[in-house]
Amino acid sequence: MELGTHAGFIIASYALCILTVLVLVAWVRIDKANQERALKELAEQGISRARRVHESR
Q: How far apart are CA 52 and CA 36, in angstroms?
A: 21
Q: Tell me, what DSSP letter sits at residue 56?
A: T
Element (H, E) at 3: none
Summarize pLDDT for 1-57 with one digit per residue, the tens: 788 999 999 999 999 999 999 999 999 999 999 999 999 999 999 887 776 666 665
Nearest 5 degrees, angle CA 48-CA 50-CA 56? 110
Q: Tell me, what DSSP letter sits at residue 49?
A: S
This prediction's pTM? 0.69
At 54 the pLDDT is 65
Centre a 10 Å sphere on the Cβ of residue 15 and count the other Cβ atoms it contains: 10
Q: How far apart are CA 24 and CA 3, in angstroms?
A: 28
